[in-house]
């Protein structure tokens, strides 16, 4: 029995009884589809097998020791690369780990990871045709967060397109599902800046219109924490902005509240200092 057939047999048993999120479709269809993509891309049998097995460590009782014994180090390493190391961590932290790990990934690892994401997005696009925007309710994070995640993966892999044609297909799928590779527009960022002092009912209606409820709430909560507990960092942020010609009156708590918000939104959006300065300058009249 060759390695691909062994992988099919193990994955079928390991994923028995599992269903695709929010559907009655057997989960095994996903790793099988990933394996087929890798086969069509002319990948090696080891890469195809890893694609079929890519969710076994993360979502089944299969252990690393079992994979090593049955498939060897190469397949096991590829499955590990496609797996989140600690499912107990917050969603955002786990996804950032995946994105950052792509910077040093081998081309075989990139093939497996890209095929996984590509089939996931293809499935989401089909579900959107059938069920509309309610599809996003199946996920821990909604449309905006999913857009950030898939767009970030494409951007992290953009330099490797010539080595892996699936990256180009993933980019097209991101644009088909979300409309753009940019996960958040300037208008949406401007709406978030309107919440710099907190979220009232009028602002709540606006952020709901743009699908920003979870993101705005997360930033607002962190901004409040920064203001209450990180005042040295807030003063430092105000000092940094003043170097760039952005001055705030310091005879009240207002500037510290704003600084807490600036720190929170910069970290949440992964902005550079210059990107934060640009967004603050554009929104000065609103804050």
pLDDT of amino acid 168:
97
Instruction: Yes or no: say if 109 and 78 are a contact pair by the CB < 8 Å rule.
Output: yes
HSE (side-chain half, CA atoms, 13 Å) at 285: 2
CB 41 within 8 A of CB 165: yes
Per residue in 154-179, pLDDT (tens digit) is 999 999 999 999 999 999 999 999 99
> Is 86 annotated as catalytic?
no
Above pLDDT 70, what percent of the chain? Answer: 100
46, 55, 58, 194: the catalytic one is 58
Tokens of 120: 């996931």
Catalytic entry in 45, 46, 59, 163: 59
CA distance 199 to 202: 8
Confidence bin at 252 (pLDDT 50/70/90) = confident
Is pLDDT above 90 for 192? yes
For the domain made up of 3-178, the CATH class stated in words is mainly alpha
Angle at 108 between CA 102 and CA 109, to 5 degrees: 35
Burial bucket for residue 98 (CB in 10 Å: 0-12, 13-18, 19+): buried
Q: Which residues contact residue 258 at a Cβ distance below 8 angstroms, ignoring those fewer than 6 apart?
A: 196, 197, 248, 287
Establish how many alpha carbons lie within 13 A of residue 33's alpha carbon, considering only the half-sphere containing its beta carbon.
17
| pLDDT, tens digit, 9 for 90 and up, residues 60-106 | 999 999 999 999 999 999 999 999 988 888 888 899 899 999 989 99
Query: Residue 273 is encoded by which pair of tokens?
Result: 């200092």
What pTM value is reported for the model? 0.79
CA distance 48 to 75: 9
- Three-state DSSP class for 26? strand
Active site residue 213: no
pLDDT band at 46 (very low <50, low <70, confident <90, very high): very high
> Which of 10-14, 19-23, 214-218 is least confident?
19-23
Domain locations in the chain?
3-178, 186-286
Give the span between the Cα atoms of 219 and 223, in whole angstroms: 6
Give the separation between CA 131 and CA 120, rounded to whole angstroms. Answer: 16
Residue in the block written with tokens 């003043």: 242
């Amino acid at each position: 029995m060759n390695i691909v057939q062994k992988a099919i047999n193990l994955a079928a048993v390991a994923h028995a009884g599992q269903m695709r999120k929010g559907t009655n479709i057997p989960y095994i269809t996903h790793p099988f589809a990933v394996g087929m993509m890798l086969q069509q891309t002319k990948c090696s049998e080891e890469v195809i097998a890893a694609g079929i097995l890519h969710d076994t460590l993360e979502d089944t009782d299969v252990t690393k020791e079992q994979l090593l014994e049955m498939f060897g180090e190469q397949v096991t390493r590829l499955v590990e690369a496609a797996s989140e190391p600690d499912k107990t961590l917050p969603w955002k932290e786990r996804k950032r780990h995946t994105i950052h790990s792509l910077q040093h990934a081998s081309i075989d690892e990139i093939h497996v990871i890209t095929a996984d994401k590509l089939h996931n997005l293809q499935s989401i696009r089909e579900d959107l045709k059938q069920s509309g925007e309610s599809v996003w309710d199946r996920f821990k994070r909604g449309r905006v967060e999913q857009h950030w995640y898939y767009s970030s993966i494409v951007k992290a892999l953009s330099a490797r397109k010539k080595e892996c044609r699936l990256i180009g297909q993933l980019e097209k799928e991101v644009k088909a599902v979300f409309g753009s590779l940019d996960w958040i527009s300037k208008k949406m960022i401007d709406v978030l800046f309107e919440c710099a002092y907190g979220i009232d009912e009028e602002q709540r209606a606006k952020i709901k219109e743009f699908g920003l409820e979870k993101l705005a709430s997360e930033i607002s909560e962190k901004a409040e924490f920064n203001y209450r507990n990180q005042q040295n960092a807030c003063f430092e942020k105000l000092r940094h902005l003043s170097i760039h010609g952005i001055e705030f009156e310091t005879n009240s708590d207002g500037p510290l509240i704003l600084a807490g918000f600036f720190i929170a939104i910069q970290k949440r959006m992964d902005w550079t200092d210059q990107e934060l300065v640009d967004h603050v300058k554009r929104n000065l009249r609103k804050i």
